[in-house]
Amino acid sequence: MDLVIAQSCPSCGAEISLAEDDRLVRCPYCDVYNYRVAGSAPRYLLPGRLPAAVDPAAVVHIPYLRFKGTVYEVGGEGVHHRIVDTTRLGIEEDDLPPSLGLRPQAMRLLPLIASRPGSYLRQSVPGEEAFNQAVAVAGLLRRRERRALYHRAFIGETLSRIYQPCYLHGDTVFDGVVARPLGGGELFSRHRSVAADPAWEPRFISSHCPRCSGGLEGERDTLVLRCRGCRSEWQEEGGRFVPVSSTMVPTSIRDALHLPFWRVTIVTEGVRLTGFGDYLRFTNQPLAVRPAFDSLPLSLWVPAFKLNPRSFLQVAAQLTLGQWRLPAAEEGYVDEVYGANLPAREALQAVKTVLAHTTVSKKTSLPLLAELRIARHETRLIYVPFVVRGLDYVEEHSGAALLAAALRLGKTL
Ligand SMILES: [Zn+2]
Ligand SMILES: [Zn+2]
């Protein structure tokens, strides 16, 4: 479930509500759009309710690491997956709750503002621990199968830090959210505290087209912003917009829905796969490998939008296997597309998982995945037209299909 954050509008200062994956933010008060810069692991605070006697400057914030995303494991004889949403204490301390439980979802969080009074305990647990915890919570492979784990990936994950306010009253440390005692006062002195760094604050940039100054458009969680004025596309990198050069699979069908995919073209080592023919042989497809397939590059077609794991793997597999049936992608711009909300680096993360999912001879081929390394890769954003057929969206050349409901549900992941 998305966290909700009480953010002040960067343009007029009014308090607005954000979902944690909101990027293009419209303020209902001043009607201005701003774009939220992707930081590494954004920081939020649980709102405290402090007794009047407590000096806000004496509040100590305890760090928790949060992971939300899908864990995929290739092992045993297949691909296993689970959506996980979990928090874990960011310091080694037995007197504090090991996780925040459902608390972050039950309240509106605050963004971390450096000028807010109080101090912060320094996170001493490495960030990877959030991933280890996610693996443990997912519990995908049984103990005896763990020996046969060939690959693990985290896809579409959000990593953040959530701080729990605490304060000292007498000689007791209290939970600043519900005023419950947590432990003795020495708890604070066992850990180093640091002042907030202004670099921890959320950052926004103006959402205007760098080329023509027109307003950039997109859905609230979009990673690729579009300008109707000069028909260009942009993504934020390091606090500024850089151009995106996408292509599209041509179609004669009007009102097709253009879904974004990352086409990840790879050459691998360990197990050497250099073209589409190699891929068909490695995954043992029941399909005659024509000579022409060996001159095609090996590309995996990974959705650039969020979907539940089952649909994600299904449409990636169908489009990857059927890519040779697609007309060549062309330069171009259509006004209406489905917004990309899964970054290219996540598509790269998904490559081996999609390879595993499309493997027919799982018993013999999956163990080889542990040795397969991606030596070179190139990623390209491609819009693929899908048309409505009953309850599905279907790509007419490859037959790739996606339940319309899966697309709607993907918005809530
Ligand atoms: Zn505003
Ligand atoms: Zn423009």
Model confidence at 288: pLDDT above 90: no
Per-residue pLDDT of 10-28, as tens digits, reads 999 999 999 999 999 999 9
CA of 13 to the centre of ligand 1 (A): 6
pLDDT at 147: 74
CA of 241 to the centre of ligand 1 (A): 21
Per-residue pLDDT of 59-95, as tens digits, reads 999 999 999 999 999 987 889 999 999 999 999 999 8
Q: How far is Cα 250 from Cα 101, in angstroms, rounded to an integer? A: 48
Q: Which of 47-61, 136-150, 259-273 has the highest mean pLDDT?
A: 259-273
Taking a 5 Å cut-off on Cβ, the residues next to ion ligand 2 are 209, 211-212, 214, 227, 229-230
Model confidence at 142: pLDDT above 80: no
CA of 32 to the centre of ligand 1 (A): 6
What is the DSSP code string of 221-249? T-SSEEETTTTEEEEEETTEEEE---EE-
Q: Which of 60-64, 278-282, 288-292 has the lowest mean pLDDT?
A: 288-292
pLDDT at 28: 95
Model confidence at 408: pLDDT above 90: no
The amino acid occupying position 101 is G
* Tokens read off for 199: 């670099």
Per-residue pLDDT of 23-54, as tens digits, reads 999 999 999 999 999 987 899 999 998 888 89
**The whole model's pTM is what?**
0.93
Q: Which of 43-52, 111-120, 137-146, 330-339 has the lowest mean pLDDT?
A: 137-146
pLDDT at 364: 87
CA of 16 to the centre of ligand 1 (A): 8
CA of 35 to the centre of ligand 1 (A): 13
Ligand with minimal distance to 207 CA: 2
CA of 25 to the centre of ligand 2 (A): 19
Beta strands, E only, 224-367: 225-227, 232-237, 240-243, 247-248, 257-269, 298-303
Interhelix angle 309-321/344-357, rounded to 10 degrees, is 80
pLDDT at 363: 87
pLDDT at 146: 73
What is the DSSP code string of 142-201? -GGGGGGEEEEEEEEEEEEEEEEEEEEETTEEEETTTTEEEEETHHHHTS-EEPPPGGGS
Q: How far is Cα 215 from Cα 225, in angstroms, rounded to an integer? A: 10
Per-residue pLDDT of 373-395, as tens digits, reads 999 999 999 999 999 999 999 99
Per-residue pLDDT of 160-211, as tens digits, reads 999 999 999 989 999 999 989 998 989 898 999 999 999 999 999 999 999 9
CA of 23 to the centre of ligand 2 (A): 19
